[in-house]
Amino acid sequence: MKQYIIQGGMIGFLLVFGLNTLNGNDLGVSLMRACIAAAAFGLMARWFARTMFSELHLSLYLSQQAAAAAAQKAAEEEAAAQAAETEAAPAETPAAE
């Protein structure tokens, strides 16, 4: 996640510094605003990355839970089918006298 924070900070710094330079602001003002923007963009990138990763982990967890529930349901259905087969089998065979 550190990469996303650094990348967000660099994007913020370069964007704000470039816009301030194009607007004709002094170098000191441009650098100060760019540093503030780097911190703000870094915090926003951290928030976004944390939210994205937590949602991805939640999605993975839910898909694993759904797969486990489906497998358990299939096993229960198979066991019920085998039990019904076992009960039906003696009724079909003639009794030996």
Question: Are 32 and 20 a contacting pair, CB within 8 Å?
Answer: no
Encode pLDDT of 7-64 as tens digits. 999 999 999 999 999 999 999 999 999 999 999 999 999 999 999 999 999 999 999 9
Residue 92 lies in a domain: no
Residue 8 lies in a domain: yes
Residue 95 lies in a domain: no
Encode pLDDT of 55-91 as tens digits. 999 999 999 999 999 999 988 888 888 888 888 766 5
Residue 67: give the domain boundaries.
Answer: 2-79
Instruction: Give the integer Cα–Cα distance in Å for 50 and 28.
Output: 33
Query: Which CA distances in Å does 10 have to 3, 15, 61, 90, 92?
Result: 11, 8, 33, 77, 78
Record the pTM.
0.64
How many domains would you assign to the chain? 1
Residue 85 lies in a domain: no
Residue 91 lies in a domain: no
Residue 19 lies in a domain: yes
Q: pLDDT value at position 83?
A: 83
Burial of 33 by CB count in 10 Å (0-12 exposed, 13-18 middle, 19+ buried)?
A: middle
Q: pLDDT value at position 93?
A: 58
